[in-house]
Structure 1
Amino acid sequence: MKKRRNLLQGIKLFSALTVAITTWSLSSCNKEFANVLPEPSENDTTNVNDGSKRVLYIIMDGVKGSVVEEIAPNNLSLITENSIYSYDGLADNHRNALTYAGAWTSMMTGLDYTVSGVTTEDFAGFNNNTSPSIFTRLKSEKRNLETVSISSSASFNDHLAIDATTKKTLANDEEVKSAAIEQVSNGNASVVLAQFHSAELAANNDYSRNNDAYVDAINKLDTYIGEILTALNNRKTFHKENWLVVVASSKAGGPSGGPNGSNIFADGSRNTYLAFYNPKFIPVAYEKPNVNALPYSGTTAKYVGAGSNATQSDPNVGNFGADKDATIRFNIRWDYGSTFYPSFLTKRASFSPGVVGWTFFMEYGGTVGLNFSQSGQGNTQRVHTKYIADNNWHTIAARFYKEGSTRYVAIYVDGVPAPGGPLNITGLGNINTTSPLRLGSIGDGNVNCMIADLAIYDMAIPEADLLSKIKITPITSEVDPYYNRLVGYWPGMEGSGKTLSDVTGKSAPFNLMGAINWASFSDISPNISPAISPSAFRAVPNNVDIPTMIYSWMNIAIPQNWGLMGKFYIPSITLPKD
């Protein structure tokens, strides 16, 4: 079963940088770790015999966090029992195609590609002077510190371990493991890095639980990690030292990158396993937020009863003539359980037959329709069959378009086309009117709704593109490829005042008329997908956080001018009992 824990409140630390943790025992068997601190001396406030802060940093290429969670390798699972960790970690929070060079650079410099410039596997644009790696920073800050980089990838050492005291590029992961064991057993390095690449090779572009070769490779790496940590535990000076173990995926695999506004958590190439381990750490799991259950929130005008509406200042807005292509989209929450044909988004003087223009209205029974009329004609309409009078937010859209000499309008509710299909409106001719576009009531008292995120485009957005984006709010140039074709976009979230403004600056505002109540809402609707805040992608550890954690552990104050992008995760600890 998936282990998820809320953030636990631990005993307050003397300082995040002077946590005293010294001795543990780890083997590949399923045992608990030893949990012993040295006896404190009168003058030893950190409970460490020599204050020797050291780091073991293990990098795993191609290891997907979600797969690690599914297969639960023995040692990686044990590590989480005393770690700040995540199976939902991110290589970074960007949407470009991710490379190993880019991922390695982020986790070795604390700077993502927007600063380091590294996006291709040849490290083009990388400058170790302007984006120094951990080894370079440590050499500058602690000149007598010994560091070791052991890698199965020559390009890693050639670019990111320039200033390591010792660099070893080996033929395969088994050799990397053996060299790491030798180093932690007998060496004196304060930072030992071991980089493994075999899981990436075994995946062969299939990074799934069902790929036996890939799973076997991850389990083999898990065995290597157990052997290295056992060797670390058995080193002669271990009881006087204070080690932080970092185990992290560089990147995983699968299709990489996505369009602006896409969910980065769905990018499998960026899904990492990451753990900051010490046996005194209280386990804290960081998991991704449920981006499918984000509330649609704001404060907008609520239209209740006759005369309650917002009237467009420019009478030309909403006029689509005899042949103009156009798209309308908006969100609506109807708070009546029953309805009797009220209009709620209208570009005509009234709902009466023969009055030129168009109107969205509630069909009796709680469905929605789009009605047209022309001088000397009756009403022409298309009704959608989905019930929306349910106090939930829904999306509505309409496309005006031509096929040859025939003009149609198609309506959609919650991304579903009207079952009756597009409506032929060729015979209506020119439906322009001087009557203004209005939100809310045009005289009918049977109105009780909120309308938000109204957008009008000067083109018929292709149906597939419209439906793929219809749930997304707010509309921005990042998420909407047709943003520059907007006639106007009125989110309607001002929260007070008497106008609803067009945020594109192209059209006039709506003026609120009659009795208007500003209503706050925060509703989870399956029909609305609020934009994922960038902060959501930093709710879990990102690889740029690793250097920050290492520097902090090594008692290095991080100057602001380093420009590091990572954040520090304050550990909670368990102290020895009397």
Structure 2
Amino acid sequence: MLLLNNHTMKSKIEKSTFIVKLTAVLVVLMISIISCNKELTDRKDFSNNTGGNVIDAQQQKVLYVIVDGARGESVFKSSTPNLSKMIKNGMFTINAVSDENGLSATSWADMLTGVDKTKHKVISEDFSNNKLTDYPMFFKRVKDNTSLRTAAFSISPALSTKLVTHADVNTSLPNDEAVKTATLAELANNNAAVVLAEFQGVDKAGAQYGYDASVPQYAAAITNIDTYIGELNTAIKARPNFSKENWLIVIASNKGGDYPVIPALMDQTLYSKPLLNGFVILYNPNFKSTIYNKPANLNSLPYLGSYGKLNGDTIASVDAAKSNLYNFGTTGEYTVEFKLKVQSFGTLNAPIFFKTSSPANAATGWWIIHNGSNGTWRLGGLASAAISTPTTKAMEVNQWYNIGFKIYFVGTVRYVQLYQDGDPIGSPTVITGRTVNNSEPLVAGYRSGFGNSATQFITDIRIFNAAVPDAVIKDFACQVLLDSRHPNYNNLIGYWPALDGAGTLIKDQSKSKNDFVFQKSTQWLSFEDYDNKFCIKPTPELYKIVPRGIDIPRFILGWLNINATGFNLDGKVWTPIYTNILK
């Protein structure tokens, strides 16, 4: 009995221990789930508030400080103890990019209206011919929707008189010290609610000595402004009703300043231009620290989009009735280029791009086809014999190549020359008097009855009615989207980026408007390829991954519970994560 009782007791203890451990695990899991859900709950999107979503028990207030000429990267490297404290409860970037024209007036207008220069039209330092009546400074939005007091203190008379409107107080002052003193006095006013201060000391130091943290005078000017910001922060906390108020403090530079940068730090984007490099801090003591950085590798931007898969009997063609432009005749000069990525070379001589009834030596027309499956290619039809590419230029699967040919005259002799990745390959071939005119469509991809199909992608198709100079072919072979910067842009008689991503058409962006139409099945696939041979032109979206000056008015209006939906703003919505939500 004693043994049985001991065994029973042991079993009960083990069972109890198991239950305790299991309960502990479940508690940990529940805490984890609650924490995850809390972070989702605490991510408050107040960009289009109509009231009642953000800390209703407190009065929403804003201090907006613009620091002219403060390079973001230099601010990061300078002594800024107050800003360093603020980013612990702030949304922060040192990679903000101002408007590429580098003008203070344009940047100020972006930062105070929330729209870009295509709308506000501030494209000169004198603010001439602007549209600020249609796209006013955000104070007007505040006044139209609230009874809050607005005040602005600035160094620049132009900013004060041309840009600031609907302010209860609007004062232009001689120096930073005076701006600080006036702002402190405003913050001591119990009715202070939306306060703007502009400082120019950093910009003046940069203009005189150099815009870099390694320049003592410039670094000292940044530190001095940091001290002012500390005083302004202290003044806010000293307000009698501070415990009942909820202050958003925004610190941002309008732009940076020109300064030499070593070539290794230059990339293809505006991020590497010191003149445009600014910073933004959106601070509230209840914000979770969130740092926004520029992309890690800007020297190698991806070629991306959605392209059409060409294999089997899937082809894309321009109707024969519209394809006479691409016959080339016995006169005239032309250039044909496109980008090709092959997943499988197939067998025999799979077609790639052509205008002929059959890409065989006996047919009339011109065609580019694979040489078997060894990675080389050849041009047919324009000469009595096929023009093959050297085996040393063999292509590999899943790699991009820019290939094509040029028809040109030297005197009365007409030649054709092949190109791969912008370089001439092989020797030019005489084609004088040879006509390849036909009534066939222009085709990208497979042609039944000849060879086995490769699996491939063809994009960035360009046809010019001109002999594009070799240097231009080389310079633009790496480009993936052409615009008027190409010297022969107006000579395009067909331009198909072929990244449409949906539907049955590959749209022609040239003046000809001859769209390719997919025959039979259409399969669009998304891709994102990195290759050093690309010189990708950055899109505006690249600069929207970090907060910018143009985003600030939308953020402020949201903070003040003003619905910005109907204001046609360009700024991006940024949503803070809260570490503490007052209910």
- The bucket for the TM-score relative to the shorter chain is 0.7 to 0.9
1:370 to partner: Cα distance: 4.4
**In the alignment, which residue of structure 1 is the partner of 2:462?**
455
Match of 2:98 in 1: 91
- C-alpha distance after superposition, 1:487-528 (max 9, x if no partner): 223455677888766454737566767x86736242313255
For 1:340 and 1:213, the matched residues in 2 are separated by 71
1:101 aligns with 2:105: yes
The answer (yes or no) to whether the contact 2:335–2:466 under 8 Å persists in 1 is yes
Which residue of structure 2 aligns with residue 398 of structure 1?
A: 405
Alignment map for 1:467-546 (pairs within 5 Å): 467-475=474-482, 482-492=488-498, 502=508, 504=510, 506=512, 518=523, 520-526=525-531, 527=533, 534-546=540-552
Measured against aligned partners, the alpha-carbon deviations of 1:104-129 in whole angstroms (never above 9, x if no partner) come to 12222223322322211111134664
Matched, 1:134 2:138: yes
Q: Distance in 2 between matches of 1:384 and 1:8?
A: 59
Amino-acid identity (%): 28
What secondary structure sits across from 1:81 in the alignment? Answer: helix
How far does residue 451 in structure 1 lie from its aligned partner after superposition?
A: 1.9
8 Å Cα contact 2:62-2:247 kept in structure 1? yes
Match of 1:298 among 306, 309, 312: 306
Task: Measure the CA separation in 2 of the matches of 1:438 and 1:12.
Answer: 52
Alpha-carbon distance in structure 2 between the residues aligned to 1:90 and 1:222: 21
Match of 1:32 in 2: none
Deviation of 1:246 after TM superposition, in Å, equals 0.6
Write out aligned runs for 1:381-396 (5 A): 381-383=388-390, 385-396=392-403
Measure, in 2, the Cα distance between the counterparts of 1:539 and 1:518: 30
Distance 2:83 2:418 in 1: 52
C-alpha separation between the residues in 1 aligned to 2:92 and 2:215? 25
1:568 Cα shift? 4.1
Q: 2: CA distance between counterparts of 1:446 and 1:551? A: 58
**Could you tell me which of 242, 246, 254 is aligned with 2:246?**
242
Alignment of 1:5-404 (within 5 A): 9=40, 11=42, 46-48=56-58, 51=59, 53-69=60-76, 71=78, 73-92=80-99, 97-126=101-130, 129-143=133-147, 145-185=148-188, 188-204=191-207, 207-208=211-212, 211-254=215-258, 265=271, 268-288=274-294, 292-294=300-302, 296-304=304-312, 313-314=319-320, 316-336=324-344, 342-347=350-355, 358-362=366-370, 366-371=374-379, 377-383=384-390, 385-404=392-411
The residue identity in structure 1 corresponding to 2:459 is A
Instruction: Specify the structure having the higher radius of gyration (Cα).
Output: 2
CA distance in 2, matches of 1:221, 1:153: 17
Q: Per-residue displacement from partner, 1:130-156 (whole Å, max 9, x unpaired)?
A: 43323444445444x433322122222
Cα deviation code 1:522-542 (max 9, x no counterpart): 231325567755544444333
Consecutive unaligned residues of structure 2, counting only runs of 5 or more, are: 1-37, 260-267
Deviation (angstroms), 1:470: 3.4
Size of the aligned set, in residue pairs, is: 526
Partners of 1:318 and 1:67 lie apart in 2 by 55
Q: Deviations over 1:167-188 (max 9, x none)?
A: 3323222332343344435675
SS of equivalent to 2:42: coil
Closer, same or farther: CA 408–219 of 1 in aligned 2, 3 Å:
farther
What CA deviation, in whole Å up to 9, does each residue of 1:267-311 have, x standing for no partner? 55443311210011112333445774445232414234xx77556
What residue number does 2:16 align with? none
Counterpart-to-counterpart distance in 2, 1:99 and 1:494: 36
Deviation at 1:103, TM superposition (A): 1.5
Measure, in 2, the Cα distance between the counterparts of 1:388 and 1:140.
Answer: 64
> CA RMSD of the aligned region, Å?
4.1
In 2, the alpha carbon distance for the partners of 1:223 and 1:493 equals 52
Q: 1:319, 1:102 → 2: CA distance?
A: 49
SS at 2:523's partner residue? strand
TM-score normalised over the length of structure 2:
0.75
State how far apart, in whole Å, the 1-side matches of 2:395 and 2:215 are: 45
- Three-state SS of the structure 1 residue aligned to 2:192 is coil
Secondary structure at the aligned position of 1:243 is classed as strand
Question: Contact (CA 8 Å) 1:354, 1:378: kept in 2 or not?
Answer: no
Bigger drift between 162-171 and 269-278 goes to: 162-171
Q: CA deviation at 1:332?
A: 1.1
* Residues 346, 452 of structure 2: 8 Å contact kept: no
| Bigger mean CA offset, 537-546 vs 487-496 | 487-496
Structure 1 Cα separation of the partners of residues 317 and 53 of structure 2: 63
SS in 1 for 2:205: helix
Alpha-carbon offset, residue 190 of structure 1: 1.8
SS at match of 1:253: coil
What letter corresponds to residue 172 of structure 2 in structure 1? T
Distance in 1 of aligned mates of 2:103 and 2:74: 20
Counterparts of 1:569 and 1:312 in 2: how far apart (Å)? 45
Preserved CA contact (<8 Å) 2:368 2:380:
no
Q: Deviations over 1:225-265 (max 9, x none)?
A: 2233233333444333221101111122349xxxxxx9555
Q: Which residue of structure 1 aligns with residue 3 of structure 2?
A: none
1:146/1:165 contact within 8 Å kept: yes
More helix by share: 2
CA distance in 2, matches of 1:495, 1:170: 55
Which amino acid in structure 1 is aligned with residue 291 of structure 2? A
| Partner AA of 1:61 in structure 2 | D
Consecutive unaligned residues of structure 1, counting only runs of 5 or more, are 1-6, 22-45, 256-261
CA contact (8 A) 1:394 1:528 kept: no
**Aligned equivalents of 2:163, 2:518: Cα separation in 1:** 60
CA distance in 2, matches of 1:403, 1:8: 70
